[in-house]
Structure 1
Amino acid sequence: MARTGPHRAGARLTAIAMLAVVAEVLLIPLGTYVAFSKLLVWVPATAALAVAVAAARTAAAGTDGPLRTFWRRTSTGIAAVLLAALSQIADITTHPYTGIPPVSARTLLCYVAGTSLVIAGLLRLPGGGSSWRQLTTAVLDVAVVAVTAGIAASQYMGWFNDRFGVSASAWWMNIAVLAIAVAGVVVVIKIMAARRSPVPRAALWWLAPLGLVGPLSTVLMTLLKPWPHLNGSAAVLPLVGLFATLAARAQWRQAPGRGTRARQPVDLPGHQRGSAIPLVAAGLTSVLVAIVFVRTGHLGAAQVAGTTLLLLLVVARQAVALAENSTLLDSVAHQAMHDELTGLYSRRYFTAAVAAATGTHTVVLIDLKEFRSINDGLGPAAGDALLVAFAGRLTALAGHHAVVARLGGDEFGVLVAGATDLTSRLVAANAEPLDAAGHDVLVEVSVGVAEGALDLYRQAEIALREAAAGTGGGLVRYDASLEQRLTRRATIAADLRRALHTGELYLLYQPIVELPHGRPIAVESLIRWRQPDGRIVSPADFIPVAEDTGLIVELGAWIIDTACAQAAAWRQRHGADALRSVAVNVSARQLLDPALPDVVAAALARHGVPAAQLTIEITETAVFAGGRALATVHALSRLGVSIALDDFGTGHSSLGLLRTCPVDAIKVDKSFVDGLGGTPQQEAIAIALTGIAETMGLRTVAEGVETAEQARRLFELGYRQAQGFHFARPLPAADIDAMLPDGGAAASRRRDRAA
């Protein structure tokens, strides 16, 4: 609502000002054919000025500081011009005339006062600091405009004296006209000289043409002399009101509501501050001098001297501009080779430095683990602060002779001559948290290292990729075996993409049973891959590849659809009560896909499976930092599907996660089940987890049960659901069918219950 009031009022004021200009434009030519009251042409003029006063006051009311002062002075100046127009109406109604309409000293004084107030407001605007080159350029621009205005003024003075003579009234009129012209020149100068301005540039440019109003009014006075009921001042004053209103409108558009009072000044880059204006001024002056020479056959001393000075100023200005452009090019080159956020070298510089290195060097590539989760959870400002802090730590550890670069995102690179112990020092330093906008963050890194003389960057990238995949505890040094692994991963990725469309993938289902009797009540879907030659590819080999390549999103959608189709088939054959749920595992990468809830909803609808019969299993690590992944889990929960935390107790374990994440079940990791039957300390976590789950109303599933003794002890501790090889290995769907009750018997039981 803050935007509605001022913008509607501004639109109305702008429309009224435009109507006043249109009315004046129609009245002037009409008056050359039809005589009417001398006051009629003044109605649009005074109306437009009154609108401009209201518009400027509205702009002042929506700002503060220098902006409010400027718009208040502008409104007062326009009000003085309105008073001058009313005074001029009194002049023409009380003093009879047959030629040029009379203009009293009182009227001229009001015009000059109004103009002076606008100039004062402009001069008081802050302009921001500048370099010496920018200041020199601004001074030369001002000089060019001033000389151009002087040449035009000298020509205007000659024309004015020919038309109006050198009487006292003509002298005062000339002063008023030149004062108005000076106002326009001041506006142009202010735009060029100001490096930073709180006033929108559009507003200043709308005020600039007002300098032409004075000279234009005197020209129109001579042209309209045969028609005493018309007036040159009245003809141009509606334009004053319209331009001032449009300037105020530019201010409203920048400040959409009163909440923008503290808006910072807007940068006016040097190359945008009017670098073409000196050339335009020189061109206009050349045209003016040419016209004078053609009409008179000679040039006066003022025109010759002014033109010569103008050309010298333009040449000097362009020389300074070239020097400034050279500095700008150096700055651009520096920015191209440096990272804007951290100040480190850029990827372009780093790769060039590695390629140019001779002799033995070490390239270290570093990737921050879980940076995306930190950035999503704490916000972009904290993410940027973390990158800057890590860049400072890395620079200090690498030393002055190393090339340290930010390669993009959360990846960094270091080039060091010879061997280095940087990696060990970095790991030790990362035990201390970094400050990220007020948050203490412990940084885990993946590090790839390559030593030698050739192809170091590519080798370090291969090592980093292995480190990021979890190989080597986060630190991998390049060796030839990595090439073989890389080739194998590339082959797996290509084959997996093919397998998605050729039916090589299939699902197995591991039962989840009810204790103590072991009756299957649910199943977990597990992906398997049999290649055309019959060889089985382990999920441990192809799932990480799917994660790295992004194929996990398409693969996950296939798993969800296939599991829902099988759940529908079991419901049809064995009844709705045969299995409580079918579970599918969803990776961290899938949770970052905002389309995942739609994929699940579409699969459920396509196969007619109730949402409650599908369980989505996620890991603690995937949602620990919150952000987009946690938002996706909430969206899935709103669909009605169950959410289970898989491998609970082994990831970023936090009991607070059970409150922030919409969890329905926890699956206790096998490592805690293995401790059953041992010491009380070994059983403590398993006992605590089932107590917490019961208190919070969550289901608990014990994973990895391999013996009857473990199953018995779990039941004694309060566990009612379990899963593991003791009960069944992952099985084809047909084997699960054999474990479920007969569909006809299930239907008969339902009919009996209904009866």
Structure 2
Amino acid sequence: MRVGAAAVAAAASMLAELGLIALGTQVGLPKVLVWIPAAVGLVVALLICRHTARTVDGPLSAFWRRLSLAVTGMLTAAISQAIDVLTLPNTGVPPVSYRTMLIYIIASAVAATATVRLPAGRRTWRQRATAVLDVAVVALAAGMAGSEYLGWFGRHLAGEPAAERLNIAVLAITTAGVVIVLKAMMTRTNPMPWPALWFLSPIALAAPLSVLLIEVLRPWPYLNGSAAVLPAAGLMCSLSARLTSRSPLPADPQLSYRRGTVVPLLASALAGALIVTVYAKTGHVGGMLVSGAATMLVLVAVRQAFALADNTILLNAVTHHAEHDELTGLYNRRHLAAAITDRTGPRTVAQIDLIGFRSVNESLGTTAGDKLLTAFAARITEVAGSAAVVARVGGDEFGLLLPGPAGLAPLDRLLALGREPLHVDGQEVLIDVAVGVADGGDAEAGDLYRRAGIALRAAMAGVGPTVVRYDAALEQQVTRRSQMAADLRRALAEGEFHLLYQPIVALPDGRISSVEALIRWTRADGRVVSPAEFIPVAEDTGAITDLGAWVLETACAQAAAWQRRHGGAAPRVGVNVSARQLLDPRLPATVAAVLDRYGLRPDGLTVEVTETAVFGGGHALATVAALSAQGITIALDDFGTGHSSLGLLRTCPVDIIKVDKSFVDGLGGSPQQEAIVTALAGIAATMRLDLVAEGVETEAQARRLVELGYRLAQGFYFARPMPATEIDAMIEQADSRQAA
């Protein structure tokens, strides 16, 4: 049965029961009739309890399994009581057998056990003391009410065996209901949603209400107080199950606990109302009620004192949380900004970024990344000193407020410590830092943090040393970079970019083997913008993604045209792919779509990546592996200038190594200068990798490369980057020479 339908059916059974009670006061009814809605309500509750037990897990499932046993017991007791009504004589009180009483008691014990075995969660000693006082207030209020109830029972129903047995059953059910209330109050965190547990507590009131109805319904012996309240118990179970199914976890355990503190206040109010009622009816108040009320006042006063202290601690915790970073325990951006504004006199603000943290986080995992941040936070706190304000202001960004203009000494120490490894999960991790610094007096308080951010961006972009101090010229430079970023987007939309192709030739004959696509920017006014100027800006701003997509599209279209025109003589085209592009999981699918669109075979494309881009592994390395699996050639560009070059040859699916120009420049010098170039030739031969020497500018370099076993080279000595039409001409000339 679906949860919503079950709740509707339970509500309908309760309304039917109320309708029969109202009808029975006007006309006679069969004795068994009022028990039918009661049984239906409990059957519905049983079905929904069993359904809920199957849809939740852990302690919550166990609770609903036990509660379904309790409801089964209640249903059995209701059927037994209906049989009693039909078979036993009515002596003024509806008959209740010992069998029925015993079943009610067992069912109540099972319900109480199910509730007690729910997890309660941890709490402080002050929270435990407050909860105990809350329980004492409720228990005292229940005792006062129970005393008055038993007094009423003794005056009206004492001496009637059926009523005595029913009263014992009622006390058992009420006790189970009180246990539910006390459990809800004592529990700080609970797998049971807070409203769902409290929806079961009115069952404690339904039981004594059934006894009170005995007296009310005496004139109509075919009506029964137990039958009148049982559908309500079924409805409460159904509503509780519905809330559990819709929200298996409380949204806010702390809020759930504090809502429970309303119950002792409500209990105190009800106890006061009881005293007023008793006095209004009898003209006096018994000693038990008076002593109970006095004790309750003391308990409530002590409880409020504990609650006030607990609230103070909670307020301090909230204040601490509002000003501190949860992971590292450092101050957060909000506190740092306030401290910069509040502190008077000369001061220095620094922003620090961990260079390459994303790669470390991807390769070692987020847990290790968190530990790295925590370790770095401890280091920077130690270095900065007690007079500094240290904050974590972003993912891998930190902020410092240092006293006085001479505050750079801690930064120098921090850079020195940056060369020492951090220990994370048994591994030593080296992490570089970039630092932006701004000094200022009182008039610049609101601007210092922004200036430090500008200096940090310059440090990360490589504009100057690792530590960059703000000045007006720097801001102008950053402004120009921002303008260039905007111009990049516009230029791409207006078609100001074009590609040149630099041949990679076979040695020693100089025949074109492949070409590398190189992007160039000529503005509408005719001014040429150097790639060294706009590529770093594109990388920094993210525009490199759109730029790289355009290069891929244009180069593949040209490569397909060469394949159609020159057949087997067509050169393979190399395209540089940035580190940011490799982090895009859609890149392999994008490349495949472009190849398919132009009918270009995968072996007609080379994807060139740098060592730094794939050093950290993670998504970047997975993207390269996916591209290689499609049959695309992978080239490792600028080899020897990045991280752990030789290790990458084992982990990265490389087909071509492109030896950086800085090593080629050493050819013809001492044996030490040629050592790396010579060693790489042997490594490539052993691993069956193609080897391309970049930056060849002289005949002597080309001749020496041939002597060392190199068969592919690229550089100005052979050809400068040129338009596609000139590549066509070179291919046709080579074909003509071969034909001749």
TM-score range, shorter chain: 0.7 to 0.9
Deviation per residue, 1:477-519 (Å, 9 max, x gap): 3344423322332232232232222332222211111222112
Does the alignment pair 1:522 with 2:544? no
Q: What CA distance in whole angstroms lies between the structure 1 residues aligned with 2:492 and 2:126?
A: 63
Show the counterpart of 1:7: none
The one-letter code matched in structure 1 to 2:187 is: A
Deviation per residue, 1:713-742 (Å, 9 max, x gap): 333433322211111111122322321228
Show the counterpart of 1:330: 316
Q: What CA distance in whole angstroms lies between the structure 2 residues aligned with 1:487 and 1:312?
A: 69
Quickly say closer, same or farther: Cα 1:246–1:693, change in 2 above 3 A: farther
Kindly indicate whether the alpha-carbon contact (under 8 Å) linking 2:668 and 2:674 is maintained by their aligned counterparts in 1: yes
User: Once the 2 structures are TM-superposed, how far is the Cα of residue 450 of structure 1 from its aligned partner?
Assistant: 3.3
Does the alignment pair 1:667 with 2:635? no
Percent identity for Structure 1 against Structure 2: 54
Query: Which deviates further from its counterpart, 365-374 or 655-664?
Result: 655-664
Q: 2:329 aligns with which of 319, 343, 359?
A: 343
Kindly indicate whether the alpha-carbon contact (under 8 Å) linking 2:192 and 2:244 is maintained by their aligned counterparts in 1: yes
Within-5 A mapping of 1:365-384: 365-384=351-370
Quickly say closer, same or farther: Cα 1:14–1:564, change in 2 above 3 A: closer
Within-5 A mapping of 1:200-211: 201=194, 204-211=197-204
Q: 2:285 aligns with which of 296, 301, 308?
A: 301
Q: What CA distance in whole angstroms lies between the structure 1 residues aligned with 2:356 and 2:217?
A: 78
Q: 1:537 aligns with which of 529, 551, 562?
A: 529
Kindly indicate whether the alpha-carbon contact (under 8 Å) linking 2:664 and 2:701 is maintained by their aligned counterparts in 1: yes
SS state of the match for residue 737, structure 1? Answer: helix
Does the alignment pair 1:552 with 2:544? yes
Q: What CA distance in whole angstroms lies between the structure 1 residues aligned with 2:153 and 2:433?
A: 80
User: Once the 2 structures are TM-superposed, how far is the Cα of residue 96 of structure 1 from its aligned partner?
Assistant: 2.5
The one-letter code matched in structure 1 to 2:30 is: A
Show the counterpart of 2:384: 398
SS state of the match for residue 367, structure 1? Answer: strand
Quickly say closer, same or farther: Cα 1:208–1:268, change in 2 above 3 A: farther
Q: 1:183 aligns with which of 168, 176, 179?
A: 176
Show the counterpart of 2:30: 35
Kindly indicate whether the alpha-carbon contact (under 8 Å) linking 1:88 and 1:107 is maintained by their aligned counterparts in 2: yes
Quickly say closer, same or farther: Cα 1:297–1:719, change in 2 above 3 A: same
Q: 2:634 aligns with which of 631, 643, 648?
A: 643
Kindly indicate whether the alpha-carbon contact (under 8 Å) linking 1:200 and 1:266 is maintained by their aligned counterparts in 2: no
**Number of corresponding residues:** 724
User: Once the 2 structures are TM-superposed, how far is the Cα of residue 373 of structure 1 from its aligned partner?
Assistant: 0.9
Quickly say closer, same or farther: Cα 1:46–1:74, change in 2 above 3 A: closer
SS state of the match for residue 400, structure 1? Answer: coil
User: Once the 2 structures are TM-superposed, how far is the Cα of residue 165 of structure 1 from its aligned partner?
Assistant: 4.8
User: Once the 2 structures are TM-superposed, how far is the Cα of residue 126 of structure 1 from its aligned partner?
Assistant: 5.1
Show the counterpart of 2:101: 108
Within-5 A mapping of 1:62-77: 63=58
Q: Gapped runs of 5+ residues in structure 2?
A: none
Within-5 A mapping of 1:521-670: 521-572=513-564, 574-670=565-661
Show the counterpart of 1:498: 490
Does the alignment pair 1:364 with 2:359? no
Quickly say closer, same or farther: Cα 1:21–1:271, change in 2 above 3 A: closer
User: Once the 2 structures are TM-superposed, how far is the Cα of residue 705 of structure 1 from its aligned partner?
Assistant: 1.3
Query: Which deviates further from its counterpart, 485-494 or 727-736?
Result: 485-494
The one-letter code matched in structure 2 to 1:709 is: A
Kindly indicate whether the alpha-carbon contact (under 8 Å) linking 1:617 and 1:643 is maintained by their aligned counterparts in 2: yes
User: Once the 2 structures are TM-superposed, how far is the Cα of residue 666 of structure 1 from its aligned partner?
Assistant: 1.9
User: Once the 2 structures are TM-superposed, how far is the Cα of residue 339 of structure 1 from its aligned partner?
Assistant: 0.9
User: Once the 2 structures are TM-superposed, how far is the Cα of residue 591 of structure 1 from its aligned partner?
Assistant: 1.7
Q: What CA distance in whole angstroms lies between the structure 1 residues aligned with 2:685 and 2:61?
A: 64
Does the alignment pair 1:720 with 2:698? no
Query: Which deviates further from its counterpart, 388-397 or 29-38?
Result: 29-38
User: Once the 2 structures are TM-superposed, how far is the Cα of residue 140 of structure 1 from its aligned partner?
Assistant: 5.0
Quickly say closer, same or farther: Cα 1:347–1:48, change in 2 above 3 A: closer
Q: What CA distance in whole angstroms lies between the structure 2 residues aligned with 1:125 and 1:265?
A: 17
The one-letter code matched in structure 2 to 1:301 is: V
Within-5 A mapping of 1:350-499: 350-418=336-404, 419=406, 420-453=408-441, 454=444, 455-499=447-491
Kindly indicate whether the alpha-carbon contact (under 8 Å) linking 1:98 and 1:228 is maintained by their aligned counterparts in 2: no
Quickly say closer, same or farther: Cα 1:580–1:659, change in 2 above 3 A: farther
The one-letter code matched in structure 1 to 2:721 is: P
Deviation per residue, 1:347-386 (Å, 9 max, x gap): 1111222233333333332211111111111111101000
Using the size of structure 1 for normalisation, the TM-score is 0.82
Kindly indicate whether the alpha-carbon contact (under 8 Å) linking 1:543 and 1:552 is maintained by their aligned counterparts in 2: yes
User: Once the 2 structures are TM-superposed, how far is the Cα of residue 566 of structure 1 from its aligned partner?
Assistant: 2.7
User: Once the 2 structures are TM-superposed, how far is the Cα of residue 560 of structure 1 from its aligned partner?
Assistant: 1.9
Quickly say closer, same or farther: Cα 1:515–1:55, change in 2 above 3 A: same
Q: What CA distance in whole angstroms lies between the structure 1 residues aligned with 2:660 and 2:516?
A: 15
The one-letter code matched in structure 1 to 2:172 is: A
User: Once the 2 structures are TM-superposed, how far is the Cα of residue 435 of structure 1 from its aligned partner?
Assistant: 2.0
Show the counterpart of 2:187: 194
The one-letter code matched in structure 1 to 2:397 is: E
Q: What CA distance in whole angstroms lies between the structure 1 residues aligned with 2:694 and 2:41?
A: 87
Quickly say closer, same or farther: Cα 1:219–1:549, change in 2 above 3 A: same
SS state of the match for residue 483, structure 1? Answer: helix
User: Once the 2 structures are TM-superposed, how far is the Cα of residue 469 of structure 1 from its aligned partner?
Assistant: 1.2
User: Once the 2 structures are TM-superposed, how far is the Cα of residue 703 of structure 1 from its aligned partner?
Assistant: 1.1
Kindly indicate whether the alpha-carbon contact (under 8 Å) linking 1:365 and 1:413 is maintained by their aligned counterparts in 2: yes
Show the counterpart of 1:134: 127
Quickly say closer, same or farther: Cα 1:606–1:126, change in 2 above 3 A: closer
Query: Which deviates further from its counterpart, 721-730 or 668-677?
Result: 668-677
Quickly say closer, same or farther: Cα 1:124–1:429, change in 2 above 3 A: same
Kindly indicate whether the alpha-carbon contact (under 8 Å) linking 1:582 and 1:615 is maintained by their aligned counterparts in 2: yes
Kindly indicate whether the alpha-carbon contact (under 8 Å) linking 1:14 and 1:242 is maintained by their aligned counterparts in 2: no
Kindly indicate whether the alpha-carbon contact (under 8 Å) linking 1:28 and 1:230 is maintained by their aligned counterparts in 2: no
Show the counterpart of 1:5: none
Kindly indicate whether the alpha-carbon contact (under 8 Å) linking 1:52 and 1:242 is maintained by their aligned counterparts in 2: no
Query: Which deviates further from its counterpart, 229-238 or 346-355?
Result: 229-238
The one-letter code matched in structure 2 to 1:463 is: A
User: Once the 2 structures are TM-superposed, how far is the Cα of residue 618 of structure 1 from its aligned partner?
Assistant: 0.9
The one-letter code matched in structure 2 to 1:690 is: A
The one-letter code matched in structure 1 to 2:365 is: G
The one-letter code matched in structure 2 to 1:446 is: A
Q: What CA distance in whole angstroms lies between the structure 2 residues aligned with 1:16 and 1:586?
A: 60
Quickly say closer, same or farther: Cα 1:292–1:104, change in 2 above 3 A: same
Quickly say closer, same or farther: Cα 1:279–1:636, change in 2 above 3 A: farther
Query: Which deviates further from its counterpart, 155-164 or 450-459?
Result: 155-164
Deviation per residue, 1:400-421 (Å, 9 max, x gap): 2221111111111222223242
SS state of the match for residue 701, structure 1? Answer: strand
Q: What CA distance in whole angstroms lies between the structure 2 residues aligned with 1:39 and 1:152?
A: 29
Using the size of structure 2 for normalisation, the TM-score is 0.84
The one-letter code matched in structure 2 to 1:35 is: P
Does the alignment pair 1:119 with 2:105? no
Deviation per residue, 1:110-157 (Å, 9 max, x gap): 423442454355446553443465345434543554465456556655
Q: Gapped runs of 5+ residues in structure 1?
A: 1-10, 256-262, 750-755
